[in-house]
Amino acid sequence: MSQFHVYDTTLRDGAQQEGMNLSVADKLEIAALVDRLGVGFIEGGWPGAIPKDTEFFQRAGKELRFDNAVLAAFGATRKAGSEVGRDPQVRALLDAETPVITLVAKSDIRHVERALKTTPEENLAMIRDTVAYLVAQDRRVFLDAEHYFDGYRFNPEYALACANAAYEAGAEVMVMCDTNGGMLPTWLGEITAATAAALPGARLGVHCHNDTGCAVANTMAAVAGGVTHVQGTMNGYGERTGNADLTAIVPNLVLKLGLPALSGDKLAELTGMAHAIAEITNIAPQARQPYVGYSAFAHKAGLHASAIRVDPDMYQHTDPQFVGNDMRMLVSEMAGRASVELKGRELGFDLAGNNQVLTQVTEQVKDLEARGYTFDAADASFELLLREALGLLPSYFRVESWRTISEVMGDDGPGASEATVKLHAGDRRFVATGEGNGPVNALDAALRLALIEVYPELEAIDLVDYKVRILDTSRGTDAITRVMIESSAGSMVWRTVGVGPNIIEASWQALTEALVFGLIQLEVPVR
């Protein structure tokens, strides 16, 4: 019970959010990011119940190597009246082959009787049997006690009986869940204290939802009451109003309470990670999000501007650098030569002392970000920009023009897209027409067709991901579009970005940059 538990359920409970739809690849990518942050446990999903989650665990075993986290599978106790060894859901949990299994069980006697339609005794037996069975298979078992707080308020004896059943059968943690999210911190704090007093020495956990706007605070109240295992999701994703937001809880634990919530020293990457995860979920980050939001440390200038510059600590509750965010004065958009220099170094370009390039790139990034670009997740586009400023950008080809046509006959007829690209490469002019499932796919085909004779190395480059984000959504179809393309060649992976009011132009930009960067990576000379 030495280490404090931070338990991430973005992939399971967070994925319940309305409109969220994560692929297995998305989930693997998010898991890697959350592990990097230094969280102790990552819940991957509900194997057996959700086919995608079953696949996740199969692939996770082969593809994920965690530095910090332990993987957990989530599932229910055995069914009422069944034998635990023959329960297919329990079988699926074992098949997931995770060190930790988190079992959800009822702890509100009303839910036992009205939703589960079984007896209070059988529910206790279901907890006892399933925990013991899994512990005997060498699993660490955590119990998520559903509706714990509501249940405790109605019948504390029964809620505690569920907890006791779990602990006696070998569960490591009993997690008190505010499943409906209706708790206030004072209520939750009292129940936590009473529970801790009734179960001396047991490790207690908490799992909150934000229905009263108190999920983070409820979690903190539980910690104040003795809880040492907190569950939540990145960016507070989740059903209804969302789960407790780990991007606020973790810095609260570390910076405000000085608790050892993370392994390693990666809190300063929190903001970047939160945004990278938002890119994967394709849910626009909230500017007002605590700690990691774009506006979280933004101060209107004016009267206080000079005071803030002299003594920023008087006007901010913590140093934004601790979480990888920046203080911003809203008079002028800030870019930061320091971060450009840092990023350059990360990519292998020493810009220290090269003031002209530093200034130019900083200005350019500032300008582009104001127009909707983001280089958080598009290192390749940033490197191309840097290379251009340094005179290190090879000119592989020169585009004369391009055009796409998409048409459909009838109300629901089959559609067709084609694209024509005209360009110069290797001292020759190429005109190529490609067809595709859509205009961007057609452009990709035409561009490759036009270049392949001079640069056959392009065969090795695959586009593996294509994401679109509409910025400034208030403008309907006339909005600004940001396109992110992920490409790979062998084991190398890179991302490029394009922005503009025309989705096809934005895609074209990300597409050409993807190929140029790939050619550079493959060390192909200009021909």
Tell me how far, at minimum, the Cβ of 506 lies from its own copies, in Å: 9
Residue 324, interface with its own copies (CB under 8 A)? no
Part in contact with its own copies (CB under 8 A); list of ranges 62-70, 385-393, 440-448, 515-523: 440-448
Residues 247-266 that bind its own copies (CB under 8 A): 248-249, 252, 256-257
Stretch that binds its own copies, among 283-291, 339-347, 359-367, 381-389 (CB under 8 A): 283-291
- Using CB under 8 A, which of 269, 326, 457, 465 touches its own copies? 465
Binding segment for its own copies (CB under 8 A), chosen from 131-139, 156-164, 266-274, 402-410, is 402-410
Closest distance to its own copies from the beta carbon of 227 (Å)? 13
8 binds its own copies (CB under 8 A): no
User: Applying CB under 8 A, which of residues 61, 88, 119, 300 lies at the interface with its own copies?
Assistant: 300
Reading the block at residue 360, the tokens are 């130019």
Look up residue 95 and give its amino acid.
D
| Cα(8)–Cα(39) distance, integer angstroms | 7
Residues 91-120 that bind its own copies (CB under 8 A): 110-111, 114-115
DSSP H/E element including 25: helix 24-37
Contact code string over 215-244 relative to its own copies, x by CB under 8 A: -xxx-xx--x-----------x-xxxxx--
Q: For residues 408-437, which are near its own copies according to CB under 8 A?
A: 408-411, 413, 415, 417, 436-437
Nearer to its own copies, 352 or 409 (CB): 409
Output phi, psi for 54, to 5 deg: -60, -45
Q: How far is the CB of 402 from its own copies (least distance, A)?
A: 6
Q: In sequence order, which residues have a C-beta less than 8 Å from that of residue 386 and are 6 or more positions away? A: 344, 347, 349, 357, 361
Q: Which is nearer to its own copies, 141 or 445 (CB)?
A: 445
Nearer to its own copies, 128 or 469 (CB): 469
User: How far is the C-alpha of 274 from the C-alpha of 289, rounded, in Å?
Assistant: 10
Decide if 29 contacts 252 (C-beta within 8 A): no
> How many C-beta atoms lie closer than 10 Å to residue 23's C-beta?
13
CB of 138 to its own copies, least distance (A): 30
Stretch that binds its own copies, among 12-20, 32-40, 124-132, 356-364 (CB under 8 A): 12-20
Q: Which of 305, 462, 521, 522 binds its own copies (CB under 8 A)?
A: 462
We find the least distance from the C-beta atom of residue 137 to its own copies, in angstroms, to be 26
**Is residue 153 near its own copies by the rule CB under 8 A?**
no
Question: What pairing do the DSSP bridges indicate for beta strands 480-489 and 462-471?
Answer: antiparallel
The label of the residue with tokens 């129940």 reads 191
| Whole-angstrom distance, CA of residue 487 vs CA of residue 279 | 16
Give Cα separations from 489 to 183, 347, 482, 492, 515 (angstroms).
Answer: 51, 18, 23, 5, 10
Number of residues this chain uses to bind its own copies (CB under 8 A): 127
Element (H, E) at 205: strand 203-207
DSSP lists the bridge partners of residue 471 as 480
| Rounded Cα–Cα distance for residues 78 and 64 (Å) | 29
Task: Classify 380 as helix, strand or coil.
Answer: helix
**Min CB(14)–its own copies separation in Å:** 11
Per CB under 8 A, the list member of 265, 311, 427, 523 interacting with its own copies is 311
In Å, how far are 91, 114, 135 from 415, measured between CA atoms?
46, 52, 56
For residues 152 and 29, what is the distance between their CA atoms, to the nearest angstrom? 38
* Residue ranges in 478-507 that form contacts with its own copies under rule CB under 8 A: 478-479, 481, 484-486, 500-505, 507
**Helix pair 337-346, 379-390: axis angle to 10 deg:** 100
**What span, in angstroms and rounded, lies between the C-alpha atoms of 490 and 99?**
32
327 to 356, contacts with its own copies by CB under 8 A?
A: 330, 333
Closest distance to its own copies from the beta carbon of 75 (Å): 13
Site for its own copies in 119-148 (CB under 8 A): none
3-class state of residue 62 by DSSP: helix
CB of 449 to its own copies, least distance (A): 14
Using the rule CB under 8 A, give the single segment among 6-14, 136-144, 286-294, 359-367 that binds its own copies: 286-294
Q: Is 195 within 8 Å of 153 (Cβ atoms)?
A: no
